[in-house]
Amino acid sequence: MQPTPRRASLHQQRVTFVVLAVSVSSFALLQSLIVPVLQTIQVEYDTDQATVTWVLTGYLLSASIATPILGRIGDAVGKKKVLVATLLILAVGSLAAALAPSIGWLIAARVVQGLGGGVLPLSFGIIRDEFTDRVTGALSVIASLTAVGFGFGIVIAGPIVDGLGYHWLFWLPMIVTAVAALAALLLVPESPERTPGGVPVLPALPLAITLVALLLAVSQGNKWGWGSPAVVSLLATSAVAGVVWVRTEMRVAVPMIDMQMMRLRGVWTTNVIAFFVGFSTFASFGFLPQFFQTPSSAGYGFDATISESGTLLVPSALASFLVGFTTAWFIARLGARRVIMAGTLISAAAFASVAFFHDAKWELFLATTGQGLGSGLVFSSLAGVVIASVARSQTGVASGMNANIRTIGGSIGSAVMAGVLTAQLGPSGFPLERGYTIGFCLLAVGMLAATVAAAYLPDTRGDRPHRPRLADADNAELGLLPAAPAPQ
């Protein structure tokens, strides 16, 4: 049996939680602050919609590669050290974005910002290492901040742009993340847990090639032609690199995505859910403001300003945030399986509603509120299931893998949505209404796929899934499973 680790005092836990919440919120805000001004950036840098979408996609792609690597480094050398370094990199990326003289520079800066995705597995690991109780509740709130921060980023972008200009969408986060890095250095204790081992750099290369080739083909397919040599070559490259990546993951000593761990019921199910939730949620947040800003002369849209389009997601952000405080209560009584299935079904209904009922503002507000409730239930529940399914020493790897797969889903979902819309352009240059209908129907299907995966989740109220005995002991400590007798 593993000895009981040192735990921080209650006051220290509260301070640590605040610092982690600010750190995760900063990363989540940077995912979406730029979304309402994509059309402005497109005009500012004289580019097209497919290219400007990479301002969002590049960030998600970078995060999907960096998240598990930084989580693994944190497990090996210390989560606090890596958290501070990650926040500093996030601040540097924000500085570069604020000074960007061209669209290429801006996309590159966003790729640097994406390295901040490491704050998620690092924060989950620190909570599990340091907190004495209410671990599940703390994990739920931190996890829900990823969805809440994404929504609030879109909401506050308008007032920032109106008052200061869009460059301050990067100056302000730079200041906040720099302060968060200093606070983490001074106030967060170094976690005692260490997992010796290397860093999964080798698998990262074929994964990066797989995703870049796929996303480039999807985003440029309408422009270059889906049967063009360039697109066909990119899709073939993505397929070959994907096979190489999987084979590499199965052979290296330190995998990026642990295929052995993926066999655990509580791991593979949550990762499938994370992929489809990321696919649908990031794409919806990325394109709803553009729908709202579309001139009514296009046959739909509401002629909204950047600030007005941000208000569309206020109910979603609030609903997602508030439900995060109640998820632990629901899980204790209903089990994570039912809670997550309810969340995915609510989100699917919300996306279907946007697809077919978007003639009035109240219809969209109602749909986004439902989407916020659904995603809040899912985001704040997944982390606890993942953490409960693995040994303590694998916390960073498992949570990083889940966050990684979610951002992979988000990058693919954003590219697919952009491809659907650019294939349905009207004479005015804006997407046709049916493009949004098709796109949001696809997002609804994605959430239904997540629902199917959620049906196979382990029941955290007492059914013991197949998992390592050490993880069972940890689950008992977290209150997710009854205590198991020590091995004889």
Token duo for residue 274:
């994370």
Q: What is the pLDDT of residues 130-178, one digit of tens each?
A: 776 666 667 767 776 776 676 677 778 888 888 888 888 899 889 989 9
Reference 170, options 215, 219, 105; nearest CA is 105
Give the integer Cα–Cα distance in Å for 19 and 127: 11
**Residue 463 pLDDT > 60, yes or no?**
no
What mean pLDDT comes out for the span 356-380?
A: 88
Whether residue 20 contacts residue 126, with contact meaning beta carbons closer than 8 Å, is answered with yes
| Cα of 329 vs its chain's centroid, Å | 24
Residue 470 reports pLDDT greater than 60 = no
CA nearest neighbour of 367 among 462, 436, 458: 436
Confidence of residue 6 (pLDDT cuts 50, 70, 90): low
Which of 1-5, 124-128, 273-277, 330-334 has the highest mean predicted lDDT (pLDDT)? 273-277
| Digit-coded pLDDT (tens) for 382-438 | 877 877 777 766 665 677 677 778 878 887 888 888 888 877 777 777 888 888 999
CA distances from 189 to 8, 280, 287 (A): 8, 36, 40
Q: Which residue has the higher pLDDT, 6 or 257?
A: 257
Of the CA atoms within 13 Å of residue 129, those in its CB half-sphere come to: 24
Query: Which pLDDT belongs to residue 473?
Result: 37
Q: CA nearest 23: which of 137, 193, 173? A: 173
pLDDT of the residue at 195: 67
At residue 196, the pLDDT reads 62
Cα(329)–Cα(325) distance, rounded to whole angstroms?
8
Please report the pLDDT score of residue 188 as a whole number: 83
Where residue 445 falls among pLDDT bands split at 50, 70, 90? very high
Highest mean pLDDT among 53-62, 194-203, 351-360: 351-360
CB count in 10 Å sphere of residue 423: 15
Residue-averaged pLDDT of the chain: 80
- C-alpha torsion angle, residues 36, 113, 163, 159 (rounded to 10): 40
Which among 186-190, 398-402, 481-485 has the top mean pLDDT? 186-190
Contact (Cβ atoms closer than 8 angstroms) between residue 116 and residue 33: no
Confidence check: pLDDT of 207 > 90: no
Per-residue confidence band for 444, with pLDDT thresholds at 50, 70 and 90: very high
Tokens of 216: 């480039």
> For 300-338, what is each residue's pLDDT tens digit?
888 888 777 777 777 877 787 788 777 778 888 888 888
pLDDT greater than 90 at residue 76: no
pLDDT digits (tens, 9 = 90+) for 23-57: 888 888 887 788 778 778 888 888 877 788 788 77
> pLDDT higher for 260 or 2?
260
Residue type, 341: M
CB burial string 279-293: b at 16+ within 10 A, e below: bbbbbbbbbbbbbbb
- Quick one: pLDDT band at residue 291, thresholds 50, 70, 90? confident
In this structure, are residues 330 and 376 in contact, taking their beta carbons and an 8 Å threshold? no
C-alpha 98/C-alpha 26 separation (Å) is 16
pLDDT tens digit sequence for 79-126: 888 889 999 999 999 999 999 999 999 999 999 998 887 888 788 878
pLDDT reading at 471 higher than 50: no
pLDDT in tens, 208-239: 888 888 877 877 777 777 788 888 998 999 99
Q: How confident is the model at residue 451 (pLDDT cuts 50, 70, 90)?
A: very high
Token code pair at residue 458? 């382990």
**How far is it, in rounded angstroms, from Cα 319 to Cα 324?**
9
Residue 1 has pLDDT above 70, yes or no: no
What are the DSSP calls for 116-143, one per residue?
GGGHHHHHHHHHHHH-SS-HHHHHHHHH
Q: Dmax of the chain from CA atoms? A: 75
Strand-pairing partners, residue 431, are 425
Q: How many CB atoms lie within 10 A of CB 328?
A: 22
Give yes or no for residue 362 having a pLDDT over 80.
yes
